[in-house]
Structure 1
Amino acid sequence: MKKFIRNIGDKVVVVQAEHELKMQVESLFRIFETIEREKWTDGFSIQIGWSNFIVSVKNEEYYILSPDYSGNPFEDYTEDLTLSLWAQLEQVHFLRKLNMKNGEGVSFRDKVVVAKNILEVDSIYLQRSGGAERGDSGWYIGPVHEEDDTEELEAFYVYQLLKIRPSLIQVLALPYEYMVIFERDQVKAVLNERDEDILSGGRNDTN
């Protein structure tokens, strides 16, 4: 893990993450440069993409923290922003592969509805429906093959997919009425609201 330091106004701001995420760290610094200085207080929180980022003042340095997705992100925070920035990168990168400038936001605390035990199945689809209540991502995950289907449902928080099946994280910023078909960790198709497969040239190397 690398410590990145930036002077923003009269404040020394510290971000820690894996070196490979340098560009994402720079983007985060640029966002914090736009925040009004009077908001720079201990505990200040801002939602950026799927994650929250929190200011923690320590020895006159301003550390940027994120929820700890390896533990309980509703109560615990970490100085290591690797997971938060990695998930953000995956979602932005996937939208760009589809030549989409904007998707539909999702939060780590949103719920995903899943056919029971379906995350253990190789062939699955994810479908996002509009009109979801607050706290509901709109995503449903079900089986491609009828023999894997079940009437029982369960729900997970978005962040829990990081442990269970992290390859799914990349598609969660797609708009409502989209569907994605996975074969294990590979995206096989992306269907838009008109049921058109927009995965360029049938490419299936997305991971």
Structure 2
Amino acid sequence: MKRFEKEINGKLIVVNAEKELRPQIESLFLILENIDEEKLTDDFSIQIGWSIFYLIKKNDEYILQSPDYSKNPFKDITQDLTLALWVQLEQSHFLRKLNIEGETTKFSDKVIAAKNVLQQENIYLQRTSDVEKGDSGWYIGPVNDADDTDELEAFYAYQLLKIRPSLIQVLGLPYNYMVVFRNDKIKAVLDENDESLEFG
């Protein structure tokens, strides 16, 4: 883990993350530079894509922190932003490959799945737009109809990091998109018109 720091509006802002994430960290600093000076204080928080970031004052520094996705992100926070920034990177990288604008899924949004589908080899994810607050719109089902079930289970989006992390990259896709996976490999992406997209 590497320490990055930048003075913004007279405050020393500190970010800790793996050095490979420098471009994401520079983007974070840029966003903070555009926040009103009086808002940028101890306990300031901001939602950026998947994650929330908190500014915590310690001595003369303001340390940027995020929910700890390796524990319980609803109550645990961490100074290591590697995981939060890695998710942002994975999702934005995938959207760039498709050359489309995305739709945010927050770590705390619900994902609905056919029961035990995440243990299966061939699955699909489909996102519907008719959703309530706190629901991502994502449904995960089996590609093979014989494996389908009426029994459902729900996860928070962040829980996929532990259960099947390869799915995280596609969660920023727009509504009405569909993705087919075989194991951890994406086999197809379909847009809202059921047109297959190139993603090489």
Same fold, TM-score > 0.5, yes or no: yes
Distance between the aligned counterparts of 2:9 and 2:41, measured in 1? 14
- 1:122-161 Cα offsets, whole Å, 9 max, x none, are 1000000012000000000000012221111000000000
Gaps of 5+ in 1: none
Distance between the aligned counterparts of 1:42 and 1:99, measured in 2? 37
- 1:27-65 Cα offsets, whole Å, 9 max, x none, are 111101111111122211100011000000001100000
**What does residue range 111-150 of structure 1 map to in structure 2 within 5 Å?**
111-150=110-149
Identical amino acids, percent of aligned pairs: 63
User: Which secondary structure does the structure 2 equivalent of 1:38 belong to?
Assistant: coil
State the Cα distance separating 1:99 from its structure 2 match: 1.2
User: Which secondary structure does the structure 2 equivalent of 1:21 belong to?
Assistant: helix
Extract structure 1 runs of 4+ deviating beyond 3 A. Answer: none
Q: What residue is the counterpart of 1:153 in the other structure?
A: 152
**Normalising to structure 2: TM-score of the pair?**
0.98
Q: What residue is the counterpart of 1:91 in the other structure?
A: 91
Q: What residue is the counterpart of 1:174 in the other structure?
A: 173
Distance between the aligned counterparts of 2:141 and 2:151, measured in 1? 11
Q: What residue is the counterpart of 2:55 in the other structure?
A: 55
**Normalising to structure 1: TM-score of the pair?**
0.95
Distance between the aligned counterparts of 1:111 and 1:95, measured in 2? 21
Distance between the aligned counterparts of 1:56 and 1:14, measured in 2? 10
Structure 1 counterpart of 2:118, one-letter code? L
Q: Which segment is superposed worse, 36-45 or 125-134?
A: 36-45
State the Cα distance separating 1:89 from its structure 2 match: 0.4
Q: What residue is the counterpart of 1:76 in the other structure?
A: 76
Structure 1 counterpart of 2:182, one-letter code? E
- 1:74-112 Cα offsets, whole Å, 9 max, x none, are 111100000100000000000011111x11111000000
